[in-house]
Amino acid sequence: MRPENEGRLRALIECGRIVIGPWLVQPDEFLPSGESHIRSFQRGIRYADRLGGSLKVGHCADQILATSRRCRS
């Protein structure tokens, strides 16, 4: 995030127009270890809370690719 946009982003988060988190970085489901998933989750929540709040639902957006990988095996 560009520092000059922090106030604008914070205002949008606080009024509910933008929802962020809980991941710091959206991980690939199969590459990182379980610990790195948890650390990204924890850091993402802390960062989002400083900006006004984090989404309270964890998800892994890689499910379609994961399914296609399993189908090719």
- What residues are annotated to the active site? 62
What does the alpha-carbon distance between residue 51 and residue 73 come to, in Å, rounded to a whole number? 42
Short-list 33, 8, 4, 31, CA closest to 18 = 8
What does the alpha-carbon distance between residue 46 and residue 24 come to, in Å, rounded to a whole number? 9
